Chain A
Amino acid sequence: QVQLMESGPGLVQPSETLSLTCTVSGFSLTSYNVHWVRQPPGKGLEWMGVMWSGGSTDYNSALKSRLSISRDTSKNQVFLKMNSLQSEDTTTYYCARDRGWNYFDYWGQGVMVTVSS
């Protein structure tokens, strides 16, 4: 069955770089797109960016200067790297699958990241 699972550090120092991994199963990264979405505690959702099935990426312009998304199809993994982290980046990060129309039919369980010294 389709599964996505985020992993990464729970705590990151201010100004440092966040590295997250989304490991997928039940579908191919070369057939489906995978997005990153984040959600501050008790707040709404923010789309961050996407790894398209063809290997290209798009980013939210608000985050583009700090964000990089890549993948390793042999390991069924999509990676997110975001630099210059600040307290406002304290949030839950989700990866989600897109069936090809930019809405999300499967989500990971999310990983909570706290930015603090």
Chain B
Amino acid sequence: DIQMTQSPASLSASLGETVTIECRASEDIYNGLAWYQQKPGKSPQLLIYNANSLHTGVPSRFSGSGSGTQYSLKINSLQSEDVASYFCQQYYDYPFTFGSGTKLEIK
């Protein structure tokens, strides 16, 4: 199975700041990577697919980048509604696997 190592596990930042969350795959996943946002008590919501494509309706302050085994999610101009957990998911190979998540809080 492809292991997804996500960091940091938690993150505290101020409103308006830029934050970056990383995911490292145990092997090349050829941009088969998605990012999800999960607010407390809610189901995950798709943010980014194919490593860098913004899902419909997602604010442009979210962006994804990376290739090979290294990927990142950047959130510009942090807003209060961005408080959530964020997960990466590789869908290059079975079984599809997720990172362990990053919990984002506002300072």
Contact = CB atoms under 8 A, between A and B. Distances in A.
A105 B94 contact: no
A47 B95 contact: yes
Contacts of B87: 44-45
Interface in A8-28: none
A110 B98 contact: no
Given A105-B46, A107-B45, A62 B100 contact: no
A103 B98 contact: no
A94 B43 contact: yes
B72 interface: no
Interface string A58-98: 10111000000000000000000000000000000010100
Interface of B: 32, 34, 36, 42-46, 49-50, 55, 87, 89, 91, 94-101
Given A45-B44, A107-B43, 14 more contacts: A43-B100, A44-B98, A45-B87, A45-B89, A47-B89, A47-B95, A47-B98, A62-B95, A102-B32, A103-B89, A104-B36, A107-B44, A107-B45, A109-B42
Interface of A: 35, 43-47, 58, 60-62, 94, 96, 101-105, 107-110
12 contacts: A44-B100, A45-B89, A45-B98, A47-B98, A60-B94, A94-B44, A102-B32, A103-B91, A104-B34, A104-B36, A105-B55, A110-B43
